[in-house]
Amino acid sequence: MSEQGKTHFGYQQVDVDEKAGLVAGVFHSVASRYDLMNDLMSGGIHRLWKRFTIELSGVRKGHSVLDIAGGTGDLAAKFADIVGPEGRVVLADINESMLNVGRDKLLDQGKVEPLSYAQADAQFLPFADNSFDCVTIAFGLRNVTDKDLALRSMLRVLKPGGRLLVLEFSKPTNDLLSKAYDAYSFNVLPKLGQLIAGDSDSYQYLAESIRMHPDQETLKEMMLDAGFEQCEFFNMTGGIVALHRGLKPW
């Protein structure tokens, strides 16, 4: 934060207590076209990023998994297949529209057990201490007002030895790639948003929010400061996306 009581909403400075409502408006707007836009924006590569996340999660049969900002349920669906009926998968999202889209999508796929749903704020997770073997948050942390508070909340609900995985847009490692990515994000994404979702402003915000998100090393330090150990990150697609992983101490 640059001044007390203020935080970033994209490139704008807004009051801390206003950000959640502004972010909610973005995702209410894009929920119905979210999956289609993800495929168009990433050329389908987001599926590979999520597959890598699942591979590094260490989730096994019978585990409990919390997918925060789980949106339309891509990760939750895969985790449900892995943990089986003996396990537990909670799809959580602060945004009612996104949660409804995700729940309807998974029900349409015939996925019932072991899934449950919770409208929840990552900063104040409504779950008991030491509840989950794994917590994931994919493309959601950058929208959280107080990321440090959210990371501590995630640590609290993890079991000792449990894993946190944060999949998020990050900072490209190559200058040429970075310039091309900026040109794409600020010139193409809002136009795609207008064409497909009828909303260019929300995709302008999403592009700005990516630029305001902490880089790879900064987020790793934030996880360590929150109490995680053995923190590491894996760059994908030249650092456009990074997967951070940390463990809750025993």
Binding residues: 72, 93, 121-122
Contact between 243 and 234 (Cβ < 8 Å): yes
Contact between 233 and 245 (Cβ < 8 Å): yes
- Residue that is written with structure tokens 């449950």 in the block: 116
Binding site per annotation, positions for S-adenosyl-L-methionine: 72, 93, 121-122
Q: Output the DSSP codes for 65-78.
A: EEEET-TT-HHHHH
Q: Given CA atoms 107, 167, 45, 83 in this order, what sign does their dihedral have?
A: negative
Q: Output the DSSP codes for 124-161.
A: S--S-TT-EEEEEEES-GGG-S-HHHHHHHHHHHEEEE
Contact between 50 and 78 (Cβ < 8 Å): yes
CA distance 115 to 85: 9
Burial 32-67 (b: 16+ CB within 10 A, else e): ebbbebbebbeeeebeebbebbbeebebeeebbbbb
